[in-house]
Structure 1
Amino acid sequence: MPHREENWSIIQLPVIPDHRGNLTFIEGDRHIPFPIARVYYLYDVPGGASRAGHAHKQLAQLMIAASGSFDVHLDDGTRKETFSLNRSNKGLLVRSMVWREIDNFSSGAVCLVLASMPYDESDYYRSYEDFQAAIRQRG
């Protein structure tokens, strides 16, 4: 887990190597700083398509390239950073109040997401302008 609370960080997940193939596991409140309330995954994303395009008011997530690769673009209103995820034993922890967009999906890519809360539409900023206004209000 990250040593200090940052808006995002890469988390190295445990790997149990075996000649038959590797195994990685994730335990909520141990490997990631929240209990896992929801799991979902993105797959069969058409070439050139983009996903996400939102921010969360409270929810935190861990994004993992379970298969293939993709890029995650993050923006907290102060800084922007892009991560290329392509290893199943590394996750991108994204905390609340971070705008995220995911693109550049390879063929067969699967983006696995572990979330700190169940789905709640009222937790989303769907408009970048609304997100920016909320960041300014937090000031």
Structure 2
Amino acid sequence: MKLVQTAIPDGVIVEPTVSSPSPKVEQVELQVMGDSRGSLIPVEMGTNIPFELKRVYYIFNTKDGVSRGFHAHRESQRLVVCVSGKCRMVLDDGKTRQELWMDSAEKGVLVSNLIWLELHEFSPDCVFIVFASDYYRESDYIRDYQQFLKEARGD
């Protein structure tokens, strides 16, 4: 994962560090197990997923120039991992905005609720997997950025 500097919407420049820009976002090193046959990374509740797992989905075959995400969740938490290829992920808690390249199956990002997430610049071979704490519920989604800011900032 490569961190890059970005600007939040009001133009203030934030210099991200290796530590999380928000207590609601945590970078996670995933344990790789392997031998001469190859590698395996276990993803387990209570070990590297701190919530009850209810849904798993993956994004793949994303067309050139397409961006995804552009939403936050009111309640759901997620562990996101780019298992193949790479993409640029934007995380925004309403105060700070961080961009990072997801480019390693050995690293994930825990994303809590009320974090705006965007995915950009997918490589042709990108496979992005999401482990979620809740089943799909449209009412959990915030798809309007201004509404997200109101809820994230407690307005």
Distance 1:66 1:104 in 2: 15
* Segments ≥4 residues shifted beyond 6 Å: none
CA offsets per residue over residues 18-47 of structure 1, 9 Å max, x none? 122111011012212111110000011011
Q: 2:102 aligns with which of 64, 67, 85?
A: 85
Task: Provide the C-alpha distance between the structure 2 equivalents of 1:90 and 1:135, rounded to a whole number of angstroms.
Answer: 26
SS of 1:10's partner is: strand
Secondary structure of 1:87's counterpart equals coil
- 2:72 aligns with 55
Gaps of 5+ in 2: 1-18
Match of 2:51 in 1: 34
Offset, 1:133: 1.5
Q: Which amino acid aligns with 2:43?
A: I
Q: How many residues align?
A: 135
Distance in 1, matches of 2:23 and 2:149, equals: 19
Which secondary structure state, in structure 2, belongs to the residue aligned with residue 106 of structure 1? coil
Matches within 5 A, 1:95-106: 95-106=112-123
- Sequence identity, in percent? 36
- Which residue of 13, 16, 27 maps to 2:33? 16
TM-score, normalised by the number of residues in structure 2: 0.83
SS at 2:35 equivalent: coil
- Gapped runs of 5+ residues in structure 1? none
